[in-house]
């Protein structure tokens, strides 16, 4: 009997430069080496029944990423955690595992929003009141249009409706922004786009030296509970 599990993991340090495709291959190899009985699809070219909830941009650290996997037999979540962490490379760590019921939608289809933390160096003195004013003014905008290059063409996108929360705090030459943004198959707002907007609005931040971290993943706006 096939059992389905949800795995929460972190991808930090140098592992944040691992691509989405390589991350999937990494977990497949770790599952095999850990002797975890992963289920495979049927057909001419069977593939493991596992998927990462939503791709993470290269260079962005993930603190509470989600993976769903189907196993050919039931296992204790703690045992899955132990075995995987013994085989995963530095920077990738399983934080929690739980058995789940089969859902009509995959995790990838359910993800619509994500929490982010953006840490940037400031290039000149900056007061907390200035940060709050710029953030407040940005959120009052009815439209925030950005340019994106897709398949060699530049396209304009209005990202305002995809910004659900944004605040900033400056401390010791670093300004930290916390945001909840649209992500997933239904559309996304890139954290880098938020930083560019804040810089263009007058904040003295170095967008080239920012650390970006993704936290909890969420479904629709009707709930504040994460998908974990």
pTM: predicted TM-score of the whole model, two decimal places: 0.93
CATH of domain 3-109: 3.30.70.580
Every domain of the chain and the residues it spans = 3-109, 111-218
Q: What is the pLDDT of residue 152?
A: 83
Query: If we measure between CA atoms, which residue out of 205, 140, 200 comes closest to residue 170?
Result: 205
* Fold classification of 111-218 (topology level): Alpha-Beta Plaits (3.30.70)
How far apart CA 203 and CA 195 sit, in angstroms, is 9
In CATH terms, are 3-109 and 111-218 the same topology? yes
Q: What is the pLDDT of residue 225?
A: 83
Q: What is the pLDDT of residue 186?
A: 67
Contact 227, 220 (CB under 8 A): no
- First-to-final CA distance of the chain: 24
User: pLDDT 10s per residue in the chain (228 long)?
Assistant: 789 999 999 999 999 999 999 999 999 999 999 999 999 988 888 889 999 999 999 999 999 999 999 999 999 999 999 999 999 999 999 999 999 987 778 888 889 999 999 999 999 999 999 999 999 999 999 999 999 988 889 999 999 999 999 999 999 999 999 999 999 866 799 999 999 999 999 999 999 889 999 999 998 766 678 999
At 213, give phi and psi (nearest 5°): -125, 135
């Amino acid at each position: 009997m096939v059992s389905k599990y949800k795995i929460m993991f972190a991808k930090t340090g140098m592992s944040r430069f691992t691509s989405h495709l390589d991350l999937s291959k990494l977990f497949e190899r770790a599952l095999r080496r850990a002797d975890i009985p992963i289920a495979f699809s049927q057909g001419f070219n069977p593939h493991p029944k596992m998927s990462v909830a939503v791709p993470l941009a290269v260079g962005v650290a993930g603190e509470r990423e989600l993976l769903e996997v189907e196993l050919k037999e039931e296992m204790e979540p703690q045992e899955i955690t132990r075995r995987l962490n013994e085989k995963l490379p530095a920077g990738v760590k399983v934080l929690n595992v739980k058995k789940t019921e089969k859902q009509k939608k995959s995790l990838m289809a359910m993800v619509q929003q994500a929490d982010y933390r953006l840490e940037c160096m400031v290039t000149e003195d900056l007061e907390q009141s200035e940060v709050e004013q710029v953030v407040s003014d940005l959120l009052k905008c009815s439209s925030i249009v950005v340019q994106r290059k897709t398949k060699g063409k530049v396209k304009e996108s209005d990202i305002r409706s995809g910004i659900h929360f944004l605040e900033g705090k400056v401390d010791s030459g670093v300004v930290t922004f916390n945001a909840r943004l649209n992500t997933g198959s239904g559309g996304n707002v890139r954290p880098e786009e938020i930083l560019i907007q804040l810089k263009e609005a007058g904040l003295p931040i170095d967008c080239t030296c920012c650390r970006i971290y993704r936290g909890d993943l969420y479904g629709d706006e009707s709930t504040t509970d994460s998908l974990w």
